[in-house]
Structure 1
Amino acid sequence: MKDGPPARFTRPKHVELELVAVAYRDRSFPVHIHDDYVLGVIEGGAERLEVNGTSHLIDTGDLITIEPGLAHSNHTLGSEVLRYRVFYLPPELVASFSGCSNLRFAAPWRNDPVAGERLLELHRWFEAGTGDRLEQESAVAEIIEIAFDAGDRPDHEPQLPEAVDRARRYIDEHYPENFGLDELAAAAEISKFHLARSFSRSHGLSPLAYRTQRRIHAARRLILKGTPLADIAIGLGFADQSHLTRQFQSIVGISPARYREQ
């Protein structure tokens, strides 16, 4: 953001959330609240966060986790430009994915470099404006899991094998279509959040990755039949032929054209 505005907002096409990437120097915000959950990562620099009379030093790589309605203030520290990326997650969105309307953060910030790097990757990906419904909704499910640190809590969730089977059958029958987690969770009869976690534990793949595998398996058969690549891409739900080629090469190891030649 060296040459751009100090704050750049993004609103994805398929999910109701807002993102912002900022670059501030010598900037303070007075005590304020947000209507949404705030999940941010410091990319560079540092800031001081004041919450309920307690001061927190938030440094590069740290996560900011502010609940809706929590009064706080913050200001930059030092001479380095403060750069951070934030997801604003509406409570309704979090509840629709998690099935819980009162999720709470353990603290207003935490140090978790691995989670921070992944959140930065997801933020940049959303900012690029890519992804269909299932891709964007799957990314939101991952963001919510990271936000509430589900991976670090004891997992008492049932395995839900019947629900996972229903979800898998739905993907098997509809993989060329541009469906989202809403349809998949409705077919499985569980929440979107539990679906994503249960499916991954059961199959070692996320629902999105499983759908991509099914599409690529079908593409291989059609390629060998001589079907034009553009027609394969459209018929199997890829954005375009280049999208098919990237996905195919990442899984098969060679391009569709090279695969056809062998």
Structure 2
Amino acid sequence: MQKGSSARFTRPEHVGIELVAVAYRSRSFPVHIHDQYVVGAVENGAEELDVNGTSHVVGKGDMITLNPGQAHSNRSLGSDLLQYRVFYLPPELVATYTGRCDLRFDAPSRTDALDVHRFLQLHRWFELGTGDRLEQESALAEIIDIAFDAAVRPMRENRLPEAVRSARGYIDEHFRESFGLDELAEAAGVSKFHLARSFTLAHGLSPFAYRTQRRIHEARRMLLAGAPLADIAADLGFSDQSHLTRQFQSIVGISPARYREQ
């Protein structure tokens, strides 16, 4: 590793992916391949990607999109520190979300400021190591949506509204429990990628965010009924009392204790 360079890898607990945040100076890599989809975004500096004999300059604000098995070399350009963040997405995992095994990127990079901004937010969030299975799976569904864009946008099928209703009903019934997108998708009868995206389009909230709302609504009822805060946290699936307090305050605007007092 060159002086002043770093590479920090993270492996989230609930989803089978790996991510890395790198900072390189004067660094080059020979021709190599990855078994996974490589989806990244450049935060600073620039690099040159050589793919199939064609050079591509990828700079700050650009996304990196490489297919599994796609031979490439890369090297940093200029004197600025090259910083980028990458997700390595196993093809079989992407297929479980999209229902497709044939997805391929048309180019090794693209420019989309909004997508890059959200992608970097999600990458930093995963680095923190927080979130339960549903939250991490929902975030991964969003990453796949960003990565593949129109290629995996759900068809406007007549069954999707019914699927969303089924998923919402499942959450309404099981919001106290720990579950992931697999259970929701099975209940709805569609792929988990389609479900995650369609649910968010229909309700303006991800399945995880909707479950959190349901939990907080029930917490308010239980608080006013006099239940102890620790019991509420345990009953509603929060990791501990502090977790409940943070979520409650972020949604309601005041702490559970102050809510009960008022």
1:109–1:175: structure 2 CA closer, same or farther, 3 Å change rule? same
Q: Kindly indicate whether residue 254 of structure 2 is the aligned counterpart of residue 254 of structure 1.
A: yes
Whole-Å separation in 1 of the counterparts to 2:78 and 2:252: 49
Q: RMSD of the alignment, in Å?
A: 1.7
Whole-Å separation in 1 of the counterparts to 2:79 and 2:191: 46
Q: Give the superposition deviation at 1:164.
A: 1.4
Whole-Å separation in 1 of the counterparts to 2:201 and 2:11: 31
**% same residue:** 71
Q: Which runs of 5+ in 2 are unaligned?
A: none
Q: Which runs of 5+ in 1 are unaligned?
A: none
Structure 1 equivalent of residue 108 of structure 2: 108
Q: Secondary structure at the match of 1:148?
A: helix
Whole-Å separation in 1 of the counterparts to 2:111 and 2:250: 32
Q: Give the superposition deviation at 1:154.
A: 7.5
**What TM-score, normalized by structure 1, do the two folds share?**
0.94
Q: Kindly indicate whether residue 172 of structure 2 is the aligned counterpart of residue 172 of structure 1.
A: yes
Whole-Å separation in 1 of the counterparts to 2:143 and 2:100: 15
Q: Give the superposition deviation at 1:93.
A: 0.6
Q: Give the superposition deviation at 1:112.
A: 1.1
Q: Deviations over 1:70-107 (max 9, x none)?
A: 11110001111111110000001100011111111131
Asked if the contact 2:4–2:24 (Cα under 8 Å) also holds between the matched residues in 1, the reply is no
Aligned AA for 1:103? L
1:225–1:5: structure 2 CA closer, same or farther, 3 Å change rule? farther
Q: Give the superposition deviation at 1:4.
A: 8.7
Whole-Å separation in 2 of the counterparts to 1:49 and 1:76: 9
Q: Kindly indicate whether residue 218 of structure 2 is the aligned counterpart of residue 214 of structure 1.
A: no
1:131–1:4: structure 2 CA closer, same or farther, 3 Å change rule? farther
Asked if the contact 2:5–2:25 (Cα under 8 Å) also holds between the matched residues in 1, the reply is no
Would you say how many aligned residue pairs link Structure 1 and Structure 2? 259
| Residues 1-262 of structure 1 aligned to structure 2 (within 5 Å) | 6-150=6-150, 156-159=155-158, 160-262=160-262
Whole-Å separation in 2 of the counterparts to 1:182 and 1:154: 19
Whole-Å separation in 2 of the counterparts to 1:154 and 1:221: 38
Whole-Å separation in 2 of the counterparts to 1:135 and 1:229: 23
Whole-Å separation in 2 of the counterparts to 1:176 and 1:100: 32
